[in-house]
Amino acid sequence: SSPSSTVLAPAPLSLNRVAALPPAPWAASLAPLALRCQCLQTEAALIHPKHIAHVELIPKGHHCEVQEVIATMKNGKKVCLDPTAPWVKLIILTTVSGKNLSHSPKFQGLL
């Protein structure tokens, strides 16, 4: 056969070589983003938004079959919220729209 049509198999790597390679600099930052759900349990009980510093919305996808809502409290604690709870739906809506939930009449009705 001609040299241009020859397909070469890659040289096999030994496990010793792979284990000896240093980790990529970004590998540690990807470790928490493993392809699995972040939330094992969710909280449905009402948490007043004055205690919430930040809300992260993670859409469902190949990594997890459900949407995840992770609230970071002002004390630094992270809490997974139940995305089906009515008050969490309001948080999702206000997070997406950028409005302040504390003054929302709909939220005040839940208190």
When pLDDT is averaged across residues 5-19 and rounded to a whole number, the result is 44
- Which pLDDT score, from 0 to 100, does residue 95 have? 80
Which pairs count as long-range contacts for 70-76, CB under 8 Å and 24+ apart, including other chains?
70/38, 70/39, 71/47, 73/47
When pLDDT is averaged across residues 39-61 and rounded to a whole number, the result is 93
More confident: 82 or 105 = 82
Instruction: Spell out the domains of the chain, with CATH numbers in brackets.
Output: 35-111 (2.40.50.40)
Q: Give me the count of residues in the chain.
A: 111
- Which pLDDT score, from 0 to 100, does residue 97 have? 79
More confident: 25 or 96 = 96
When pLDDT is averaged across residues 6-10 and rounded to a whole number, the result is 46
| Full-model pTM | 0.59
Q: Helices marked H in 31-110 — which ranges?
A: 86-97, 105-108
When pLDDT is averaged across residues 53-65 and rounded to a whole number, the result is 92
pLDDT tens track for 15-41:
444 444 455 444 444 445 557 899 999
Confidence bin at 49 (pLDDT 50/70/90): confident
- Planar angle of CA 25, 26, 31, nearest 5 degrees: 125
CB atoms within 10 A of CB 98: 6
